[in-house]
Amino acid sequence: MQPNGLYIHVPFCVRKCSYCDFYSVTDLSLTDLYTAAVVRNITAADGYFDTVYFGGGTPSLLTANQICTILSAANIAPNPEISMECNPNSVTPDYLRDIRSVGVNRLSFGVQSFSSNELKMLGRLHNAEQAVSAILAAEKAGFCNISADLMLAISGQTFDSLRYNLDMISRLPLTHVSAYMLKVEEGTPLASDRDLLEKIPDEDDTAEMYLEAVHKLEESGFMQYEISNFAKSGYECRHNLKYWRCEEYLGIGPAAHSYIKPHRYFCPKSIEDFIAAPVQDKIVTDEGGSMEERAMLALRLTREGISVNEYPQTERYADMLIKSGYVKKEQDRLKLTPEGCLVSNEIISRLI
């Protein structure tokens, strides 16, 4: 039986960040009912999983016992990767030891920046000192696979503050970094704050910041393997690789998405409906796994790319893109360069 991935959307936050448009709620009294609903859905699915990813929201607002209850309901393969997103302000040394003892073996900290001023601007609840302390506490608790999110080109960010953030990354016991550029989403508080919007670096500086981050991270041993993801050898996120390789995964929780061949599904954004339903409603969005979709996702993987033998139509534009420095060709495979990652949507649409 081929194991799939299991994604669990934990939609709880103490407070929503100014830039975030992910589905979340602040009523933490619902966590027990939510946990019971997750267990019902896992049991009904009868799946077999080699990766589990607790995303959010803020998964670290669940207790270790709630995490244990959820994992105990799943049929998990040997040697799984069990990831959990954490906010630095929502973990303690005891909590980290407890979640490790119930099976979590990979942490992803929503650091975003090691500048307290930048964190305050983003509406984060932690400061720079808490971010460092949480990562060190995770290492002390026995975690050897720790990731950090780093946001690039945020309001007021300078090249000096970016370099400071990258230097801090290199000093800490991290094995993985997700570095992504700020996207201003409609309807978020940030989108209506003119002062903050005016301080966001322009397109040229944003591009330079991304390229500098790629260079500095690779100097520190974090090799780029996806447009926004960097890992030390052997620490690529196994769960997220399933997405980009167009492999099957089950999503549970309000706003969670799934891909179970041949269809892609999503769960409506309502924790009340999720809790009330015996099994969550799933809405089919479209069929997944088409040749074009597989090519689009594969091109995001900068180490793998796509085969020109499998996608002969790519030859039409490949030479031009290679000469422009956006694509490189290694043997029979086309791969995005860091410069190509900056305009990946345009390149992918031309190639496929």
**Residue 251 within any structural domain of the chain:** no
**Residue 115 within any structural domain of the chain:** yes
State both tokens at 286. 């479209």
Question: Which of 243, 261, 279 marks a domain boundary?
Answer: 243
Residue range of the domain that includes 316: 304-351
The reply to whether 332 and 229 lie within a common domain is no
Question: Which of 216, 243, 270 marks a domain boundary?
Answer: 243
Which amino acid does the sequence have at 108? S
Span 35-51, average pLDDT: 96
The reply to whether 233 and 317 lie within a common domain is no
The pLDDT tens digits of the residues spanning 126-179 come to 999 999 999 999 999 999 999 999 999 998 899 999 999 999 999 999 999 999
The reply to whether 72 and 154 lie within a common domain is yes
The pLDDT tens digits of the residues spanning 205-240 come to 999 999 999 999 999 999 999 999 999 999 999 999
Report the domain count for the chain. Answer: 2
The reply to whether 133 and 28 lie within a common domain is yes
The reply to whether 310 and 236 lie within a common domain is no
* pLDDT for position 123: 83
Residue 261 phi/psi, 5-degree rounding, is -50, 135
**Residue 191 within any structural domain of the chain:** yes
- Mean predicted lDDT score pLDDT of the chain: 93
The reply to whether 20 and 164 lie within a common domain is yes
Instruction: Count Cβ atoms below 10 Å from residue 14 Cβ, excluding itself.
Output: 13
What is the percent of the chain with per-residue pLDDT over 90, rounded to a whole number?
76
The reply to whether 227 and 324 lie within a common domain is no
Closest CA to 13 of 133, 99, 126, 93: 126
The reply to whether 136 and 39 lie within a common domain is yes
**Residue 328 within any structural domain of the chain:** yes
Which residues contact residue 151 at a Cβ distance below 8 angstroms, ignoring those fewer than 6 apart? Answer: 112, 113, 122, 179, 180, 181, 182
CATH number at residue 151: 3.20.20.70
The reply to whether 20 and 127 lie within a common domain is yes
The reply to whether 322 and 188 lie within a common domain is no
The reply to whether 233 and 322 lie within a common domain is no
The reply to whether 327 and 222 lie within a common domain is no
* pLDDT for position 18: 67
Question: Which of 217, 243, 269 marks a domain boundary?
Answer: 243
Residue 314's pLDDT band (cuts 50, 70, 90):
confident
* pLDDT for position 73: 97
**Residue 87 within any structural domain of the chain:** yes
Closest CA to 7 of 270, 235, 255, 263: 255
Which residues contact residue 189 at a Cβ distance below 8 angstroms, ignoring those fewer than 6 apart? Answer: 18, 19, 123
Residue 197 phi/psi, 5-degree rounding, is -60, -35
pLDDT beyond 70 at 288: yes
* pLDDT for position 21: 73
**Residue 259 within any structural domain of the chain:** no
pTM: 0.94
**Residue 127 within any structural domain of the chain:** yes
**Residue 253 within any structural domain of the chain:** no
Q: Which residue has the higher pLDDT, 148 or 290?
A: 148
